[in-house]
A and B are shown apart, each in its own frame.
Chain A
Amino acid sequence: MKQRLLRRLKRGRLILIGVLLTIVPLVAGLLAPWVAPDAPDRLDPMLRLVAPGGPHIFGTDELGRDLLTQVIYGARLSLLIGSLVVIISTVLGTIFGLMAGYLRNLDALIMRTMDGLLALPDLLLGIALMASLGPNVANVVLALGVVYTPRIARLVRGSVLVVRELEYVQAAQALGATAGRSMFRHVLPSSMSPLIVQATFVFAFSILSEAALSFLGVGVPPTIPSWGNILAGGRQFMVEAPWVTMIPGLAIVITVLGINLLGDGLRDALDPRLRRLV
């Protein structure tokens, strides 16, 4: 009994640490125009690569922009892109997953398409899609939304296949509930927990992927401050000004670590069956 209580507290602690780590970049990003010490596009050629400390707490980048400001605006963009990717992939994935699970004649078509998308590593598929769509913020969201849809679709389809065989769902159907009604009344609620957990991980993945795409020069256009862009810019001056690469990198690690902890904690709390699996 006591042990179980301790375990619950521990789970709560994971979520708490996750929230604490995520909340700083989240609030800073949301309030960027008010909390950033400088304007994001103000550059001072006289103050290039100033070391951290003094008026510029995090120093300045290769164009003489305040690095703290860049990182805060980067948080704004990364978290915005991450949230939109989660929304797109969850909505598309849920629709496709429900359709595949319910409509037998569409199942093969939808799931084989998802298998094809899953046969490509996230980043390679993202890069290939960006190659066609062209680099801008909306296309990064779209490309990553497509990349992460199959994971959600698979999950939702799996839940549908389990839930619709359950007695109470069959009973509801026998009493005349339509397919649509049983989808929204029975299937969706029961697949909610794994869906929330998976969405959390998609959030973490998409922040990492966006940073990688921008770092490679095929994501967010270089004029817009994003964590990947700051890193790409600071790379050439890494030896004389390591803070320009280290600080945004740490921002990514802390944020993604926080989201992953949150995901782990939520998985343990919401879905005990999954606890030991991954």
Chain B
Amino acid sequence: MLTYIFRRLMQLVIVLAVVGVIAFLLIHLAPGDPASVMLGSNATQDQVDRLRQQLALDQPLPVQFVAWSSRVLQGDLGISHFAQKPVLQVLAQRAEPTLILTSMSILVAILIGVPTGVVAAIRRGGGLDQAALGLALLGASVPSFWLGLSLILFFAVRLGWFPSSGILPLASGGFESLRYYVLPALALGFPNSALITRITRSSMLDVLNQDYVRTAESKGVSPFRVIIRHALRNALVPIVTIIGLTIASLMGGAVVTETVFSIPGVGRLVVQSVLRRDYPVIQAAILLVATIYVLVNLAVDLLYVWVDPRIRVVEQREARPA
């Protein structure tokens, strides 16, 4: 178990290092001198020279990368030239709306995806199955920003049920502020439910054919209990994996959804930073999202190994050199 965790941690470090290289190269791919690119067009020559020296831009790229990554590892992600504040501080100010939005969206995606997938599997080949697959197909084909605009038009403008845009900070609005997130969470959650539906369906189909499900059925356990306690529980591993991956994809989708609903979160910040050429913010956002992605995946993997000892054995067998 410990060697398994250690191996996973090593993989995690390598993936993050690769993401670090990507983030680092972004500035060097951009046309122009990285120091002036980072400082923006309002910087004085003096500032540019100072930053150039600080970043060791006269050194070869690998040396620069080592210098940059050692600063990042110490928590120094640079200064946002637009806000004139440390990047971490800027990101922290924007964190609340994005956290609420992504949590509510993942909830929406799970609440749509898992029940739809279960029902589709039980009614395999029937009308409900077709309807569920159709819904999943629609989810995979709808651009989330357009869905967002349509929801605003219908539920905010026409019906007036929900606010059309903006947010109310949790501290001042309490429960009321969650109403601002209902439409954005639907717009972001529904497209992301598609994959959860499909995986839940196929995973349930595998399990429903197993002997123990038939045994439970024949000994008179109620159908509902068979499905929830015996089938769904055993079908959970792939479903949880895909939910983990969905969390990462939601963070990408948040960029668009926050723009559509004028939510002042991290996603909106990323788009604004691209338009302002505020590269340190973009780099930090990339590193942050990748870190969350690998940590969520690690958590999911460790969860299985802990829950299901069979996986541990398979992992160890695979780890052996061929």
A117 CB contacts on chain B under 8 angstroms: 18, 22
Q: Please measure, in the bound complex, the distance between the C-alpha atom of A121 and the C-alpha atom of B256, giving whole angstroms.
A: 12
- Chain B positions 246 through 260: 1 when the CB is less than 8 Å from some CB of chain A, otherwise 0: 001111110110011
| CB-based contact B143/A212 at 8 Å | yes
Contact digits for A84-127, partner B, Cβ 8 Å, 1 yes 0 no: 00000000000000000000000000001101110111111101
B31 neighbours in A (Cβ, 8 Å): 134
Tell me if A31 counts as interface (CB < 8 A to partner B).
Answer: no
CA distance A111 to B9 in the complex (A): 17
Q: Which residues of A contact B16 (CB under 8 A)?
A: 116, 119
Is B271 an interface position by the 8 A CB rule? yes
Q: Is A257 an interface residue (CB 8 A)?
A: yes
Count of chain A residues near B, Cβ 8 A: 46
- What chain A residues lie within 8 Å of B275 (beta carbons)? 217-218
Q: Could you give, for residues 114-154 of chain A, a 1 whenever the CB lies within 8 Å of some chain B CB and a 0 otherwise? A: 01110111111101111111100000000000000000000
Residues of A within 8 A of B23 (CB): 128
Is A128 touching B149 in the complex (CB atoms < 8 A)? no
Inter-chain contacts of B18 with A (CB < 8 A): 112-113, 115-117, 119
Pair A119/B153 contact, Cβ less than 8 Å: no
A218 touching B271 in the complex, CB below 8 Å, given contacts A116-B21, A249-B150: yes
Q: Nearest residue in A to B18 (C-beta to C-beta)?
A: A116
Q: How far is the CB of B146 from chain A (nearest CB, A)?
A: 4
- List which A254-269 residues lie within 8 A (CB) of chain B: 256-257, 260-261, 264
For A133, the chain B residues whose CB sits under 8 A away are 29-30
| A residues near B286, Cβ cutoff 8 Å | 120, 124-125, 128
* In the assembled complex, B294 has its CB within 8 A of some CB on chain A: yes
C-alpha gap A217/B275 in the complex (Å): 8
Q: A249 to B277, Cβ gap below 8 A?
A: no
Q: Inside 8 A of B17's CB, which chain A residues have their CB?
A: 116
Asked if A56 is at the interface (CB within 8 A of a chain B CB), the reply is: no
A235 within 8 A of B: yes
What is the distance, in angstroms, from A249's C-beta to the closest C-beta of chain B?
Answer: 4
A216 in the interface, Cβ–Cβ < 8 Å? yes
Contact across chains for A120 and B271 when beta carbons are under 8 A apart: no
Shortest Cβ distance from residue B134 to the other chain A in the assembled complex, whole angstroms:
10
Instruction: Judge whether A277 is part of the interface by a CB distance below 8 angstroms.
Output: yes
Q: Shortest distance in angstroms between B43's beta carbon and chain A's nearest beta carbon?
A: 18
Given known contacts A116-B22, A132-B26, A249-B150, is B252 in contact with A256 (CB within 8 Å)?
no
- Chain A positions within 8 Å of B271 at CB level: 127, 216-218
**Nearest-neighbor residue (CB-CB) of B28 within chain A:** A132
The answer for the CA separation of A131 and B32 in the assembled complex, in Å, is 13
- Contact check, A131 vs B30: say whether CB atoms are below 8 A apart: yes
**Inter-chain contact A231/B149, CB cutoff 8 Å:** yes
A202 at the interface (CB under 8 A from B): no
The SS class assigned to the B binding surface is helix
* B152 CB within 8 Å of chain A: yes
**Residue in A124, A132, A257 whose CB lies within 8 Å of B137:** A257
CB–CB A124/B251 < 8 A: yes
- Given that A242-B153, A264-B137 are contacting pairs, would A208 and B143 also be in contact in the complex, using a CB cutoff of 8 Å? yes
A159 to chain B, nearest CB (A): 17
* Contact partners of A123 in chain B: CB under 8 A: 252-253, 255-256
Chain B 279-308 residues near chain A, CB threshold 8 A: 279, 282, 285-286, 289-290, 293-294
For the complex, give the distance between the alpha carbons of A257 and B191 in Å.
13
Contact A124-B143, Cβ < 8 Å, known A115-B18, A134-B31, A238-B153? no
Known A-B contacts A119-B15, A124-B286, A131-B277; A249 and B26 likewise in contact (beta carbons under 8 Å): no
On whether the beta carbons of B152 and A120 are closer than 8 Å, the reply is: no
Complex-state Cα separation, A117 to B18, whole angstroms? 8
Chain A residues with Cβ below 8 Å from B157 are 238-239
Q: Does B274 contact A (CB under 8 A)?
A: yes
Is the C-beta of A215 less than 8 angstroms from some C-beta in chain B? yes
- Whole-angstrom CA separation of A120 from B195 in the bound complex: 18
A130 with B274: CB separation less than 8 A? yes
Kindly state the separation between the CA atoms of A133 and B37 in the bound complex, as whole angstroms: 13
Flag if A120 contacts B293 (CB, 8 Å). Answer: yes
Contact A121 B251 (CB under 8 A): yes
| B147 smallest CB distance to A (angstroms) | 8
If A123-B256, A124-B286 touch, does A112 touch B15 (CB 8 Å cutoff)? yes
When C-beta atoms are compared, the residue in chain A nearest to B11 turns out to be A115
Q: What residues of B have a CB within 8 angstroms of the CB of A4 in the complex?
A: none
Contact across chains for A128 and B26 when beta carbons are under 8 A apart: yes
25 contacts between A and B (CB under 8 A): A117-B22, A120-B290, A121-B289, A124-B289, A128-B26, A128-B282, A132-B26, A211-B143, A212-B143, A216-B259, A216-B274, A217-B275, A218-B274, A231-B145, A238-B153, A239-B157, A242-B153, A249-B149, A253-B138, A253-B142, A253-B146, A256-B141, A260-B140, A261-B137, A264-B137
Besides A124-B289, A278-B199, 7 other A-B contacts (C-beta < 8 A): A113-B18, A115-B18, A123-B252, A128-B26, A132-B30, A216-B256, A216-B259
